[in-house]
Amino acid sequence: MDHSTHSTKESGDIPIPMTDSKSSKASSPLMPATTNKTAKQPPVSRLKRGLGVVDFILRICAIVTALAAATAMGTTSQQLPFFTQFFRFKADYDDLPAFTFFVIANATAGAYLVLSLPFSIVCIVRPHIIGARLMLLVFDTIAVPLVTAAASAAAAIVYLAHNGNSNANWVAICRQFDDFCQRVSGAVVASFITSLIFVVLVIVSAAALRRN
Amino acid sequence: MKPAALQLGVAPPANRGLAILDFFLRLIAIVGTLASAIAMATTNQTLPFFSQFVRFRAKFSDLPSFTFFVVASSIVTAYLVLSLAISILHIAKANVVNTRVLLLVLDTAAMGLLMAGSAAATAIVQLAHNGNNKVNWFAICQQYNDFCKRVSGSLIGSYAGVVVLILLILLSGVALSRR
């Protein structure tokens, strides 16, 4: 006679298939299949989901600022109303290599951000995923120095353009090219904001990567 | 990984290896940034000719971008030296999550600062080497040869520091995700 099956039928509970007595004493009974598993999210999942939402919103803000910086710098062109016989006084963004690099770097950062939006959505939907988060961390870590470099190189040139440098005999061109300077300075500010947002994105990814 | 090996306070071997690598990378970064700060700060070239009123001299403090570069490099070097202590703590103890996140945050800030300084100095060095016809800026490297060489060389050290800091951040991220 098999005692284990006899006991389950006597009690009148849901017939849970139990193994032989030795192993059944060691293991705890299996839960019935009717438990609602999605009734309440554990707090860790909610925290990671919240961080994912913050990440997504910050990415959208960074797209706006990066593309604004790139277009503001890329559409600069000021021509002074006077000119000599041989020379036309015009200032473009591609007169200075630092500004060209600035436009390229910010456009690249904007494109990367747009492409990373689906991964960010995946991190919201599945809060415990590691691969996508780690990949976002890697690329965000590369994007921080790229955008910072572009912003600060352009800032150095803008500072020179505003103040000149008597030791090197460099003339402050902003006195003549007014609109050009204002536009370029605004683009530099937007790029610094983008860089700050990238730093925050790295921190958010790192905080969400922790295994609790 | 067998469950028996994951006891509290004992680092899985992979994380300890990462922590040791972290420590050595920090040492390399300290050397790089310190060398570049010193190389830039000791620039001083006087041209052999001078007029009655003006002496032709080039120092790092003549250009504000270079001053910012020296300051930023020094701050990052000091931070890296202080963070060696936390790095040693990570080698010794395994399950300290909060200091790892803190170290990652501070590493990111340091990398941003160092990159800003390096890029500003690079922009000025590029101008000094090539000049710019459109805005009538003269290439001063044609006269101040030694000054330019020294300044360009110091930039190499700081870019190496930036690359090492990026690697440190990635290491911290991988170590965080592995626990």
Model confidence over B32-59: pLDDT tens digits? 999 999 999 888 877 766 665 555 777 7
| Numbers of helices and strands, H then E, in chain B | 4, 2
pLDDT of residue B134: 72
Model confidence over B88-105: pLDDT tens digits? 988 888 777 888 899 999
What is the distance between the alpha carbons of residues A192 and A106, in angstroms, rounded to a whole number? 10
Q: Which residue, A18, A110, A28, A32, is CA-closest to A69? A: A110
CB contact under 8 A, B124 and A151: no
Interface contact A44, partner B, CB < 8 A: no
pLDDT of residue A171: 77
Which residues, other chains included, contact A110 with Cβ-Cβ below 8 Å and sequence gap of 6+?
Answer: A63, A66, A67, A70
| Numbers of helices and strands, H then E, in chain A | 6, 2
- Give the distance from residue A48's alpha carbon to the nearest chain B alpha carbon, in angstroms: 13
Distances from the Cα of B113 to the Cα of A152, B71, B72, B165, angstroms = 10, 10, 6, 11
pLDDT of residue B122: 94
What is the per-residue DSSP string for A28-47?
Answer: PPPPPTT--TTSS--HHHHH
- Give the distance from residue A11's alpha carbon to the nearest chain B alpha carbon, in angstroms: 36
Q: pLDDT confidence of B8, banded at 50, 70, 90?
A: low
Q: pLDDT confidence of A161, banded at 50, 70, 90?
A: confident
Give the tokens for residue A27.
């293991």
Interface test with B, best of A167, A193, A199 (most B CBs within 10 A): A167
Lowest mean pLDDT among A81-90, B138-147, B167-176: A81-90
| 3-state class (DSSP) for residue A172 | coil
Q: What backbone torsions phi and psi does residue A79 show, to the nearest 5 degrees?
A: -120, 130
Q: Which helix (H) or strand (E) holds B59?
A: strand B55-59
Cα B169 from chain centre:
14
Interface test with B, best of A90, A99, A152 (most B CBs within 10 A): A152
Judge whether residue A25 has pLDDT over 80. no
The overall average pLDDT reported for chain A is: 81
Q: pLDDT confidence of B22, banded at 50, 70, 90?
A: very high
pLDDT of residue B146: 84
**A168 versus B122: which is more confidently predicted?**
B122
Neighbours of B153 (CB within 10 A): 13
Bridge partners of B132, per DSSP, are B137
Q: pLDDT confidence of B163, banded at 50, 70, 90?
A: very high
Q: pLDDT confidence of A5, banded at 50, 70, 90?
A: very low
Interface contact B173, partner A, CB < 8 A: yes
From the list B120, B138, B174, the residue facing A155 with the nearest CB is B120
Q: Which residue, A160, A155, A162, A159, is CA-closest to A177? A: A162
Which residues, other chains included, contact B144 with Cβ-Cβ below 8 Å and sequence gap of 6+?
Answer: B45, B47, B58, B128
Judge whether residue B2 has pLDDT over 50. no
Is the ipTM above a cut-off of 0.90?
A: no
What is the distance between the alpha carbons of residues A138 and A153, in angstroms, rounded to a whole number? 23
The amino acid at residue B8 is L
- Estimate the crossing angle of helix B64-92 against helix B97-130, to 10 degrees: 150
Model confidence over A70-124: pLDDT tens digits? 999 988 777 776 655 555 567 777 778 899 999 999 999 999 999 999 999 999 9
CA-CA-CA-CA dihedral for A98, A104, A107, A108, to nearest 10: -120
- Give the distance from residue B80's alpha carbon to the nearest chain A alpha carbon, in angstroms: 18
The amino acid at residue A30 is L
